[in-house]
Each structure stands twice: as structure tokens, then as C-alpha cells.
Amino acid sequence: MKNCIYLFLIALAALSGCKTAPGFTINGKVANPDLDGKYVYLSDFGAQTPRDSALVAKGTFTFKGVQEQPVVAILKFGQGVIERGPEIYEGFHSHQAFLLLDNSRLKVVLDVRPTVGGSAENDALNAYMQKLDAHYAPHVAEINGMLTSGEPSVVLAGEEHLEELQEAAEAIHREYISAQPNSILAAFVLHINRYGLSEALMRELVAGAGETFKAVPEIQKIADRLAVLEKVGIGKTFTDFEMPDPKGVSHKLSEYVAKNKLLLVDFWASWCGPCRRSMPHLKELYAQYHSKGFEILGVSFDRTHEAWVKGIADLELPWPQISDIKYWQCEAGVIYGVNSIPHTLLIDGNGLIVDKNLHGEELDNRIAALLQ
């Protein structure tokens, strides 16, 4: 009987030894033969240094390891290896792949259109990326040509075309993120698209997310910003702030609200190309409506007083300007949750925020309606 037990234990140990050791494997392919002999780097998203590297040989590369907790990771070549083409949607580039790194066996193709598969979350991301690519790809060459034309009116039209595409893409983002309420990979997608998504959609997606999704630090930052935006939303009374003008004289926002029927607060900076291109249109609005009680207040995110003053002079801006020269830490920007510029606020004579972040024809129509 003892011999039987002994033999059973030996057999059990042998079977245990045949089990696959826990860990991940990434089997990669590279279609471009010129990339043989180059290194692919695996990094945790946001990390300054890669965790591992693999040499491309005969169009393939492999990574192996053990991952204690799932993380969002990135696979890419070293700086300067890949010449970047026109990319008009956020966060995704040729020959570079984002993935959820857990103890799965993944297959990756690093090409102009990268793909990742092998686990449910990575497969879902890949399907989302294919839809996003189909949405943007037919327009990339045209929009890139417009944005690099050097002709201000053409560049502005390109920016408006891109903005229309971004708004239409919200349905793709909503479909993917809402279907992955506890995915840290979906949380990452929300994070990198935070500048292009509407406030309403971000509220919807964060509200519908699970605890794992919400525990991602970047999502907490989005939630904090949404709380700020709630305090200064449309229909709320403006929050006052005070900053100096170019001569160093301090002014409060309330001064300009009290003096006018309608105030446009324009968050801008001299270094911001889209801001500068919007100025001719704002000057037209100013000339048309200033005598009817319309005022513009420029709030700059510049980094130096010299650059700010030069920008005002070069653009020949006739309306009042204030700034604390704190770049993205601008006090007014923090109060109003501004994370991209140009950004606008419309405040009526009663101190109510009646609209925000309008540009182009939408801004024209809203001002005309409010001052009729």
C-alpha cells in the first residue's frame, strides 16, 4: 500500500511539472524588413524607462515574463526609428501598440495599423481601434494637408473639419468604453481622449464605470475636473477671480461682467496656434457687437510677460487682457476647469454663465441670439 501511495505522489508531481508556468508571452511580427535588427521596447504606460526590449529578427520578436497585476503597457520602437506620418486622432500611432499586459499569450503586429489580440480586453480594444481607424482614415490626408497649408483660413477650416470628425467619433468611444465598465484598458482610452470628448459624455462614462475602472488614478483626476465643471456649468453664477493687465493693474472678472450685457471670456495664449487663428473671427464679432454691449476679456495662459504682450501687439487685439503668467496653472483656468485652449465662456449681464466653449458659427449664432 505504501508503494502505491509513493508511486501516486511521483505521478502527481510529474503532472504538476507539465503545467504551463504562469506568465505572459508576446509574439510579435513586423512587416517592414528594414526594421530587422532594431529593438522593440515594452514599457508600462507613463513610465520613463522601458521594462524590457526585444530584437526584431526575420520579422519577429518575443517578450516573456510574469505580471502580478494587470497594467496598461506600450510596445514601440526607439526614438527616430519610425518616421511618423499624419495622425489626427489621439494616442494611437503607427508601429506602436497599447495593450493590457496580464499573464496572457498575446499576438502583436507592429505596422502602420498595429493590432493586438489574444485576450478578451485586448481583442475588444483592437475592434474599437479598427472602427476608429475606419472613421478617420479616409480624411487623414486631406485634413493634414489643410493643417499644414500655411494659409490661415485653410488651417482654420481643417481644424473645424477635424472637430466635426471628433464629435462624430463620440459614438465609437461610447460604445467601447461603456461595454468595458471594469476595464483599466477602457479607462486608459477615456484618459487619452479626455481633451476631445464632450463633458456630457465623460460624465456618462464615469457614472457608468465600475470600481476597478474608477480606481485608475487618471480617472479620479477626470472625476475631480468634472466636479469643478459642475460648479461653473451653464446656468450657474460666475466665480470671480482677479489678475493683472499688461501694465500690472489688477482687475476682477466681476468688473467686466457688471459693465456689459454680454461678456466673452477668451482663454488663450500667444504660443497657441489655434488661438491665434481664431483672433480674426473674434475681431469681426467685436467690431459688430461691441457697441451693443458685447465685450471680450482675454485671459492668457502665457509663460512670460514678454511673450504675452508681444502676442497682444502682433495680433492687434483691441479688448482688455489679464493674466497671472502661470501657464496651465493659471488661476482662472483652475477655477473653470480649462484643460485645452482656445476655450470660451459667455456670461450675461446678470452674471449667469449662458454658454461655453463655442467657436466659429456656433459662437456667431449664440451671440446674435443673446443680443437681439
For the domain that residue 286 is a member of, what is the CATH number? 3.40.30.10
Q: What is the CATH number of the domain that holds 86?
A: 2.60.40
Identify the pLDDT of residue 89: 58
What's the domain count of the chain? 3
**Within a domain: 68:** yes
* Structural domain of 164: 122-231
Specify whether 86 is located in the same domain as 181: no
The last residue of one of the domains, among 76, 95, 114, is 114
Q: Supply 24's cell numbers.
A: 505572459
pTM, rounded to two decimals: 0.80
Strand pairing partners for 72?
A: 100
The last residue of one of the domains, among 93, 114, 135, is 114
Reported as a single tens digit per residue, the pLDDT across 31-75 is 899 999 999 999 998 888 999 999 999 999 999 999 999 999 999
**Within a domain: 327:** yes
Cα separation of 252 and 57, whole Å?
A: 64
Specify whether 72 is located in the same domain as 26: yes
**Within a domain: 25:** yes
Per-residue CA distances from 35 to 38, 42, 85 (Å): 5, 16, 17
Identify the pLDDT of residue 230: 93
Closest CA to 111 of 127, 92, 128: 92
**Within a domain: 12:** no
The last residue of one of the domains, among 114, 130, 149, is 114
Identify the pLDDT of residue 137: 85
Give every residue of the chain whose pLDDT is below 70, as ranges.
1-21, 84-92
- CB environment 56-86: b (16+ within 10 A), e (fewer): beeeebebeeebeebbbbbbbbeeeebeeee
Q: Supply 331's cell numbers.
A: 488661476
**Within a domain: 218:** yes
**Within a domain: 11:** no
Specify whether 366 is located in the same domain as 246: yes
